[in-house]
Structure 1
Amino acid sequence: MEPPRPVLPSHRLRVVSPGMPTLYHVPERGKRAEAALTALGFEVGYSPHAHGLSDDGITSGTPRERAADLMEAFADPEVDALLISDSGTGSLELLDLLDPEVIKANPKPLIGFCDTVFLHQYLAGLGIGSYYGCSLMFHLGDVGGPFPETIRSLTRALGVEAPLECRPLGDRAAPPTSWHDPASEAVPRVRDHPGGWTWLRPGRGAGPLLGGEISQLPEVVERFKLDYRGVLLFWDVTEVQDQPVDTLIRDLAAATDLTGLAGMVVGANPQLDPPVWAAEVAAALERHVPEAAYPVVVNADICHMTPSWVLPFGEYAELDDHKGLSFPRTRG
């Protein structure tokens, strides 16, 4: 998959809400995020249901309304890229309502994370690149502005910088406490979680970068009939994940063969100290994928904390314990 066309300052971003109605609950956070993007030079617009609320309160609208927003953004020649407001839930139910021919005729990148992995994988199946690791509300709407490392990662990825290199970004801040409590949400986040990665297994591997939040990956594999052999697989967990990592890896290994990966990149865990998390991942891999010999790095900056990387989903990438994670980004 070749890199998408560059999305540069002065280009137009359309905010869509395929999942949770976060913009409805805390519009002030959305305004802060929009201000951060316009300060960079981007033009920001909103889909009709971006600020909406479904009758059950779970998403920003019905599946048809949210899918229509996506299709309108793809078809609009005035839109250069789609940026999700937030994720959480809801993307899977949109897939059968999308028109692949319209999207292929109007290719443009989607920027999202977590639950929108279903949309990223859908676009990858059409040969369209996207960006995983950033959303309007979660990553860009903090009091005092987004973390500068996240902004640098976003603009470098969208600008199709070559090579795009990912190295540790420093200490991290935990996710906001609650979208439903504006007073709590408006408290500045503190970078009180140690940064840095842990190499469980050194080495070098290369292949297309695919993955997502690990509890969703078995369903992603089943929906798209994926074979991860030769893939650089990335995954992380949410701040509310209550299943042990042993169970998560067991379930993913049951859904697809994990022995033939090119490498594995595991995000940091918001609930655990990095050494504890690394030890738990190592034990689970030893139990469920003991024969694997590819490089594995844990506590990477693709996670549900910030600052975080913005990664080209589906592009060819290289993982090297001396050089880190990088994307050559060469064209045809």
Structure 2
Amino acid sequence: MKKIILISIVTTVFVSNIQAQKKMIIPPYLKKGDTIAIVATARKNIDDNLKPAISWLKNWGLEVVIGNTIGLDNNQLAGTDEQRAADFQTQLDNPNIKAIWCVRGGYGTVRMIDFLDFTKFKQSPKWVIGFSDVTVLHSHLNTMGYASIHGIMPVSSKATEEAKESLRKALFGEHLEYTVPCDQMNRFGSAKGELVGGNLSILYSLLGSESAIDCHDKILFIEDLDEYLYHIDRMMMNLKRNGCLESLKGIIVGGMTKMHDNEIPWGKNVLEIIDDVTKKYNIPIIYNFPAGHMADNHSLIMGKQVSIEVNDVESKVVFD
């Protein structure tokens, strides 16, 4: 019996070491002449609103394919779950498509994720781009070992030039780093690790599923929109109780936009809630980083190694 237990322990350690050493796969960066597909995985997009985004891509030297889900109308969603999955699958399987750009967020990506077959994607990886509800795809790809881009979407018509340029740099593999002024809530320090995360509500909803992110030794990015303050507290407590915060190397808090309170106030604002839940951890934290539901939504490469440095003057985020 003792020998069996010893073998089990050794095997567990061996597997853990292999997992820790596994490197994230970075899809090939784009070059002029490559083709990018625009699809809908969640909320419908029935308006004629893609011309500005297509113009950006054309100016970058890219070709554009419009997916079959653009224009489909199924109540809130861009067609049925099967239709959205089929459109995404078509782009996954087509080796001529080098990136898939999700048109908008909302809700619905989680309803189609289990229909997807990533066999051909693994043979020919490509970039998946978007934010908000697209966090479902970022997290799922991360568990599979593939990087993706958290950034503006085709309907982000009010995106700043800096946000657009950050997406171009991310797609074409140019050096990506950001320097932002120090926020009074920041916690100083430096750290380096793989970047994971996205929309807090989505991360919370994925816990316990095969798409849930592994937070061990990672740097966590979170952002959210239109939530009640006590919901933020609930979600942060869930991350804590699931062990996600225990082994983080650092946290980047993006836009926490349009938060709400009850008639009886919660008693803390959104940044104070995050600070309260994370105060026991001796890690650097950047607050109010320009990424999320805002015009100045800077691109982040999820799954890539990133270094953060936080001091009393500024915060730096540098991708390797």
| TM tier, smaller | 0.7 to 0.9
Deviations 1:195-237 (A, max 9, x none): 8755520101111111111122122232135431211000011
Does residue 316 of the first structure (1) align with residue 305 of the second (2)? yes
- Give the secondary-structure state (helix, strand or coil) at the position aligned to 1:155: helix
The residue aligned with 2:134 is: 116
Match of 2:36 in 1: 13
- Identify if the C-alpha distance between structure 1 residues 80 and 257 changes in structure 2 by more than 3 Å, giving closer, same or farther: closer
Q: Which deviations, in whole Å up to 9, do the C-alpha atoms of 1:234-288 show, x marking residues without a partner?
A: 00111x222433333223223333132110000123337xxxxxx7355324533
**DSSP 3-state at the match of 1:167:** strand
C-alpha spacing 1:226/1:119, structure 2 compared with 1 (3 Å): closer
Residue of structure 2 equivalent to 1:183 = none
Choose which of 281, 285, 295 in structure 2 pairs with 1:306: 295
Counterpart CA distance in 1 for 2:122 and 2:302 is: 17
Amino acid at match of 1:6: Y
**Would the aligned equivalents of 1:268 and 1:299 in 2 still touch at CA under 8 Å?**
yes
Query: Contact conserved, 1:129 with 1:313, CA < 8 A, in 2?
Result: yes
Task: Please tell me whether the aligned partners of residues 108 and 128 of structure 1 are also in contact (alpha carbons under 8 angstroms).
Answer: no
* CA contact 1:198–1:299 (8 Å) conserved in 2: no
Aligned pair partner of 2:186 in 193, 197, 200: 200
Name whichever of 33-42 and 279-288 sits farther off.
279-288
In 1: Cα distance, 2:239 partner to 2:149 partner: 23
Match 1:95 to one of 113, 122, 129? 113
The aligned amino acid for 1:232 is I
Match of 1:176 in 2: none
Aligned counterparts, 1:103-182, within 5 A: 103-137=121-155, 139=156, 141-142=157-158, 146-162=159-175, 164-168=176-180
Aligned to 1:257: 244
Query: Do the aligned residues in 1 keep the contact of 2:229 with 2:269 (CA within 8 Å)?
Result: no
| CA 130–227 in structure 1, closer or farther in 2 if over 3 Å, else same | closer
Query: Are 1:283 and 2:295 an aligned pair?
Result: no
Q: TM-score, normalised by structure 1?
A: 0.79
Query: Which has the higher mean CA deviation after the structures are superposed, 150-159 or 281-290?
Result: 281-290
**Alignment-derived partner of residue 196 in structure 2:** 210
Q: How far apart are residue 300 of structure 1 and its match?
A: 0.3
User: What's the CA shift string for 1:146-177, capped at 9, x where partnerless?
Assistant: 42101210111111123x20223xxxxxxxxx
TM-score (norm 2): 0.82
Say whether residues 1:79 and 2:97 are aligned partners: yes
Query: What is the total number of aligned residue pairs between the two structures?
Result: 284
1:247 equivalent among 234, 240, 251: 234
Q: Is the 8 A contact 2:163 2:299 kept in 1?
A: yes
CA contact (8 A) 1:259 1:291 kept: no
What secondary structure does 1:201 align onto?
Answer: coil
**Contact map agreement 1:104 1:126 (CA 8 A) in 2:** no
Residues in 2 aligned to 1:298 and 1:130: alpha-carbon distance in whole angstroms:
23
Residue 126 of structure 1 and its aligned partner are, at CA, apart by 2.4
Q: Is the 8 A contact 1:218 1:252 kept in 2?
A: yes
For structure 1, the residue ranges without an aligned partner over 5 or more in a row are: 169-194, 273-278
- Contact 1:3 1:160 (C-alpha < 8 Å) held by counterparts: no
Paired residue secondary structure (2:100): strand
CA distance, structure 1, for counterparts of residue 275 and residue 52 of structure 2: 44
Match of 2:58 among 27, 38, 43: 38
Aligned equivalent of 1:276: none
In 2, distance between residues paired with 1:197 and 1:133? 22
- Whether the aligned pair in 1 keeps the contact of 2:193 and 2:306 (CA below 8 Å) is yes
User: Retained in 2: the 8 A contact 1:207–1:316?
Assistant: yes
Deviates more, 1:305-314 or 1:263-272: 263-272
CA distance in 1, matches of 2:199, 2:270: 15
